[in-house]
């Protein structure tokens, strides 16, 4: 199997603190049908247990040059795959 084309391998970090998804990202998630009107995430193929874990994770995004919520990374067009604690990122400008 060929490896996915990616520019960055970004380590996924965990925090115990509650993280807030930015309002702009929430609006995009609602428009794409990945979040209902009450703010509950509905990602296809992601179990509730995994979603709970994802809510406590963040990445140091090489595109935005800041720490972002993992859910924001997961729905980004640059997201390729999550592999053993790392995200494969295309690194294209947004």
Q: Give pLDDT tens digits for 38-50.
A: 888 888 888 889 8
> Tell me: the pLDDT tens digits for 25-37?
888 889 888 888 8
| Predicted pLDDT of residue 1 | 42
Chain centre distance of CA 85: 13
Chain centre distance of CA 61: 10
CA 50 – CA 53 distance, rounded (Å): 5
> Tell me: the pLDDT tens digits for 49-93?
988 888 899 999 999 999 999 999 988 999 999 988 999 999 998
Alpha-carbon dihedral 73, 77, 81, 86, rounded to 10 degrees? -40
Q: Following DSSP, what letter does each residue of 12-54 receive, concatenated?
A: EEE-SS-----HHHHHHHHHTTSB-TTS-B--TT--HHHHHHH
Query: What is the mean predicted confidence (pLDDT) over 12-36?
Result: 88
* pTM, to two decimals: 0.83
Query: What is the mean predicted confidence (pLDDT) over 5-22?
Result: 88
| Predicted pLDDT of residue 58 | 94
CA 70 – CA 67 distance, rounded (Å): 9
């Amino acid at each position: 199997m060929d490896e996915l084309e990616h520019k960055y391998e970004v380590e996924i970090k965990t925090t115990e603190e509650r993280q807030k998804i930015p309002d702009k990202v929430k609006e995009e998630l609602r428009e794409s049908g990945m979040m209902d009107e009450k703010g509950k995430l509905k990602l296809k193929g992601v179990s509730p247990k995994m979603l709970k874990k994802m809510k406590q994770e963040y990445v140091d995004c090489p595109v935005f040059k800041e720490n972002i919520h993992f859910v924001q990374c997961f729905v980004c067009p640059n997201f390729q795959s999550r592999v053993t604690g790392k995200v494969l990122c295309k690194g294209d400008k947004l």
